[in-house]
Amino acid sequence: QLSNRLLKVASFIPKGAFFADIGSDHAYLPCYVCQKDNTAEAIAGEVNEGPYQSALQTVRTHDLIKKVDVRLGDGLQVIKDAEKVEHVVIAGMGGSLIETILEEGKSKLIHTKQIIAQPNIDARSVRRWLDDNGFTITNETIVEENGHVYEIMAASAGQQDKTPYQESIKERQLLFGPILLENKTNSFYNKWKHERSKLERVIMQMRQAKQKDEIKISLFEKELQWIEEELQ
């Protein structure tokens, strides 16, 4: 059984999709999707030999060699130029790594209709990259599992008229998630209570430091204030 987190990610992949799962590790996600939907096909990309071998193993065990193509390579480089991969999944990594993978592999995204991302931390970097590169967030969800809170976002290409951002509060929306902000769930509150404590500690330490970075402190204080406001 797939984790709740990956089940949510899978729920954004439409029937019959040809998709790439970058950083697939055991290839649990593509195997699950392709087993449930025999019209779906996937590329499972891995940069590390160990996870690549695990992915091959899972694919063989589930007899999905014709459906899930496991490839060793960095980020989006596993996608061939002529391949019409319409959905790209990048899950279970930090936001800045996801951002780097997207930025470095931009040329492979010409046929991409949807990017599904699940950053473990720093979702803001991913939202910013998506917004700067013509992908509009159409869906966001937040799930809790084993004491962790995960944000999952789906963004579509070329729907700039549907942008969920409002210029005056855009920075706030990038931090919390434009759609998550509209419908705050218990998991949202749990995540941001936790982030509040972390940020309070960081600010306290920064204030006690010999050399104070006042600009950074005031930036963090502004963020803390946003968190306080959203938690009310």
Residues that bind ligand SAM (CB under 6 A): 6, 22-25, 45-48, 51, 74-75, 91-93, 97, 101
Nearest alpha-carbon partner for 41 in 23, 68, 22, 72: 68
Q: What one-letter code names the amino acid at 56?
A: L
Cβ closer to ligand SAM: 92 or 178? Answer: 92
Q: Which is nearer to ligand SAM, 150 or 172 (CB)?
A: 150
Least distance from ligand SAM to the Cβ atom of residue 209, Å: 33
Which residue shows structure tokens 């002529």?
82
In this structure, the strands spanning 41-46 and 148-157 are unpaired
- What Cα–Cα distance (Å) separates residue 201 from each residue in 120, 189, 197? 20, 19, 6
Taking the CA atoms of residue 214, residue 218, residue 219 and residue 222 in that order, the dihedral angle to the nearest 10 degrees is 170
Instruction: Tell me whether residue 149 or residue 227 sits nearer to ligand SAM (CB atom).
Output: 149
Q: How far is CA 1 from the centre of its chain?
A: 21
- Structure-token pair, residue 125: 């970097």
Q: d(Cα 15, Cα 17) in Å, to the nearest integer?
A: 6
Q: 47-58 burial by CB neighbour count: b if 16+ within 10 A, else e?
A: eeeebbebbbeb
